[in-house]
Structure 1
Amino acid sequence: MEDDVTDRRSFLRGALAAGVGGVAGASVAAGASAASGGGDDHRDAPPPLRGFHGAHQAGVEEAPLPRTTVVAFDVIAGNRRELTDLMRTITDRARALTAGGVPDGAGITGPPADSGVLGPSVPGGNLLVTVGVGASLFDHRFGLAARRPARLTAMPTFPNDALDPAWCHGDLSLQLSARDPDTVLHALRDIARHTRGAAQIRWRIDGFTSPPRPSGTPRNLLGFRDGTANPAPAELGRLVWTDDGGTFLVVRLIRMLVEFWDRIGIGEQERIIGRARDTGAPLDGDRESDRPDFAADPVGKIIPLTSHIRLANPRTPATAGSRILRRGFNYDRGVDAVGDLDMGLVFTCYQRDIPSQFEAVQHRLKDEPLVDYVRPFGGGYFFVLPGVRDAGDHLGRALLS
């Protein structure tokens, strides 16, 4: 056992050193590559994402990118110092991966410093990294019980859930998002490599967003637009961000019983959701952006009282504070053991307070008609840490200091 601890500590010290060096001269190399025409030559490439540093972590306010992976880790670090080393390493790797550049060269006999998935130069400005902590991190192991963020708990089982423990909770959450799947996989391999011996993957699921078809908000795999009524940017300070620059993340892994759903009429589908499938408009409107007028339809003649949009957001003064910033990603895991399609939604949402926002919405949705066509099977609650402000800062610094 003592040898195992020594090996783990040696690995952590090596990983931390690699994290500091990481991508050799990341910003300098990236600039040199661009100046010399090296790297990927995408003439019509979209503009780069925001930089790594800031009061908030990236990946919350930004519109969802086409590819993502959501990962939960169990921390196996032996003590608080090793946990701090782990958080420094994750920070250094995220900083290097988002900046881009030419990886360090391999030694004569040592393994290469980079997987090579993205070629000899890692493109910068194409990746979002978002890290959170779960309630289980605040147990007896690291002396952090008194520092657990207020209202952070383990995700409970709600009515209509079919949760699989293997797909729930975690000490840490990591979300990697990019425009291309190889960028996501490259970052995951890099972070997993540098944190081996301190954290191990508990569960992971890949997701994607569809392009708008034909316009407006992207669609989920039920065919309906997903995320239409999110709060405006000016409301995020009140509804999403905590005073220290963090936010609470809810992840829900929801299988959609698409073969069953595909057998019911379009009219019934639209009444279950409360919107027209083609346009995304509420059933009493013409455009996706139209606000449903529930007060003018008190008995639900046009938009049923049990419709998803009416229960989730009744649009009353009493429920205005329970709105959430919703981010949905589709997933497809092939088929299950009996040949049914295994696909659905990686639902994520952000808020200042889970009980008064997500849980309030979830309780209103109890036994809605949609539950016959979806099966939540996993996920968890996490606190997305405040952002990394500069090169001397690291994720979780205030928590661990």
Structure 2
Amino acid sequence: MTLARRAFLRGAAGAGAGAGLAGLTGSAAAGQNGQNASFHGPRQAAVLAEPARHSVVAAFDVIAEDRAELTALLRELTDRARFLTAGGAPAALGITGPPADSGVLGPQVPGGALSVLVGAGASLFDDRFGLAARKPPKLKTMPTFPDDALDPQWCHGDLSLVLNAAEPDTVLHALRDLTRATRGGMQLRWKIDGFSSPPRPSGTPRNLLGFKDGTANPQQSELDRLVWTEDGGSYQVIRLIRMLVEFWDRVSLSEQENMIGRRRDTGAPLDGAAEQDAPRYGEDPIGTVVPLTSHIRLANPRTARTDGERILRRSVNYDRGVDANGNLDMGLVFTCYQRDLERQFEAVQGRLAGEPLTDYVSPFGGGYFHLFPGVTDPADHYGRALLS
């Protein structure tokens, strides 16, 4: 047995008695005093927040050996997420052991600076933990779509993790904290750093093609119908999409706008004047103004039949530097939430197959996950109903 695994098992025993692996007191205090209302609730409410300036999107393989260890893992993951979102002072562990915190954020973890989302992939419901019969009914492994170039090293996972914060050190501190506390129970499969640009000059932030991304999201009143599942969770799609920006930058602006279906400067549809104007497809049946092959028209035709196929998008940009051929490696971490993967995301993806934009983007990774229901109170943890 490895040292990391022995440490995890010792911590798991403590977690079962109400103590976390890292011995930090802020977590329990925050929960008992009701100081972390934004973390507790029937749903993981961070889904509804616009992406913060900095993100980490990651997937993990669970290496816990049985259901008891998986339960301990999810309890510990919950305790650490609760503390990191509430903030507080890490407990002193004495002079002989390693410090309880990396110190990246100083002696006090700021409260309210971080949001955390945790989901489960289809692979968690294999025969390791006896959970096959409890798999969320619409959850499956993300398939390869016609325009994909998927790299297995960047795909799937037992658990997903999305961290968002205004500062990059906040998300990196949280990732280090969570991976240390759960070492021996899960290990990182892939992770990518993301960022969201401020609105320029106003409205929705832009992606690295220069266009506003996320304009036509569902309204608050539509979320129960389109986003949340009956148990308080949601189906999460993560798609890592490289944008061939050097190729894109050699395309004329009018051609770019016809491929997207919006003006680059204002974000308005090609038949409108402002970003939030609804395109008038009924007045343009043959696509004279907004081409029938434009991205926005294929993704959301705005018909009664396709109304229930809409998704809640929460995408961020990424930059991984330069590839082996000297080309810029940057693009989009596309993330969306819905009630039904096939009826919503896959229906949209089917309409987008072969669109003109596919010459300039290349999906290479990601996965399907189901967000756990929310953590309702200090005694609750991610996946409690699933494991009970």
Closer, same or farther: CA 162–131 of 1 in aligned 2, 3 Å: same
Query: Unaligned stretches of 5+ in structure 2?
Result: none
How far apart are residue 133 of structure 1 and its match? 0.2
In the alignment, residue 312 of structure 1 is paired with which amino acid?
Answer: A
Closer, same or farther: CA 3–175 of 1 in aligned 2, 3 Å: closer
Name the counterpart of 1:102: 89
Q: Is the 8 A contact 2:63 2:187 kept in 1?
A: yes
Residue number among 50, 72, 83 corresponding to 1:63 in the alignment = 50
Q: C-alpha separation between the residues in 2 aligned to 1:345 and 1:126? A: 23
Q: C-alpha separation between the residues in 2 aligned to 1:104 and 1:185? A: 20
Q: Is the 8 A contact 1:250 1:381 kept in 2?
A: yes
Query: Per-residue CA shift, 1:21-54, capped at 9, x if unaligned?
Result: 7432458699xxxxxxxxxxxxxxxxx9962100
Name the counterpart of 2:170: 183
Name the counterpart of 1:220: 207
Q: C-alpha separation between the residues in 1 aligned to 2:294 and 2:384? A: 44
Q: C-alpha separation between the residues in 2 aligned to 1:396 and 1:164? A: 29
Aligned Cα RMSD in Å? 2.1
Name the counterpart of 1:310: 297
Name the counterpart of 2:197: 210
Name the counterpart of 1:93: 80
Matches of residues 109-124 of structure 1 in structure 2 within 5 Å? 109-124=96-111
Q: C-alpha separation between the residues in 1 aligned to 2:82 and 2:289? A: 51
Closer, same or farther: CA 336–84 of 1 in aligned 2, 3 Å: same
In the alignment, residue 270 of structure 1 is paired with which amino acid?
Answer: E
Name the counterpart of 1:283: 270
Name the counterpart of 1:294: 281
Closer, same or farther: CA 26–49 of 1 in aligned 2, 3 Å: closer
Q: C-alpha separation between the residues in 2 aligned to 1:5 and 1:290? A: 55
Name the counterpart of 1:39: none
1:195 pairs with 2:187: no
Query: Per-residue CA shift, 1:169-199, capped at 9, x if unaligned?
Result: 0000011111111110111000000000010
Name which of structure 1's ranges 102-111 and 290-299 shifts more when overlaid on structure 2. Answer: 102-111
Q: Is the 8 A contact 1:20 1:92 kept in 2?
A: no
Q: Is the 8 A contact 1:71 1:173 kept in 2?
A: yes
Secondary structure in 1 matching 2:315:
strand
Secondary structure in 1 matching 2:357:
helix
How far apart are residue 381 of structure 1 and its match? 0.2
Q: C-alpha separation between the residues in 2 aligned to 1:18 and 1:378? A: 36
Secondary structure in 2 matching 1:92:
helix
Matches of residues 89-168 of structure 1 in structure 2 within 5 Å? 89-168=76-155
In the alignment, residue 352 of structure 1 is paired with which amino acid?
Answer: R
Name which of structure 1's ranges 58-67 and 268-277 shifts more when overlaid on structure 2. Answer: 58-67
How far apart are residue 4 of structure 1 and its match? 8.6
Closer, same or farther: CA 61–22 of 1 in aligned 2, 3 Å: farther
Query: Per-residue CA shift, 1:264-288, capped at 9, x if unaligned?
Result: 1000000000000000000000000
Q: Is the 8 A contact 2:27 2:80 kept in 1?
A: no
Identity of aligned residues (%): 67
1:338 pairs with 2:325: yes
Query: Unaligned stretches of 5+ in structure 1?
Result: 31-47
Q: C-alpha separation between the residues in 2 aligned to 1:133 and 1:149? A: 9
In the alignment, residue 25 of structure 2 is paired with which amino acid?
Answer: A
Q: C-alpha separation between the residues in 2 aligned to 1:5 and 1:112? A: 19
In the alignment, residue 288 of structure 2 is paired with which amino acid?
Answer: K
Q: C-alpha separation between the residues in 1 aligned to 2:210 and 2:335? A: 18
How far apart are residue 5 of structure 1 and its match? 6.5
Secondary structure in 2 matching 1:60:
helix
Q: C-alpha separation between the residues in 2 aligned to 1:247 and 1:49? A: 22
Q: C-alpha separation between the residues in 2 aligned to 1:166 and 1:189? A: 21
Give the TM-score of the pair, scaled to structure 1: 0.92
Query: Per-residue CA shift, 1:93-149, capped at 9, x if unaligned?
Result: 011111111101132210000000000011011110100000000001000000000
Give the TM-score of the pair, scaled to structure 2: 0.95
Matches of residues 228-267 of structure 1 in structure 2 within 5 Å? 228-267=215-254
How far apart are residue 10 of structure 1 and its match? 2.5
Q: Is the 8 A contact 2:91 2:100 kept in 1?
A: yes
Q: Is the 8 A contact 2:5 2:183 kept in 1?
A: no
How far apart are residue 19 of structure 1 and its match? 2.4
Secondary structure in 2 matching 1:102:
coil
Name the counterpart of 1:36: none
Name the counterpart of 2:13: 13
Secondary structure in 2 matching 1:229:
coil
Secondary structure in 1 matching 2:49:
coil
1:53 pairs with 2:35: no
Closer, same or farther: CA 144–285 of 1 in aligned 2, 3 Å: same
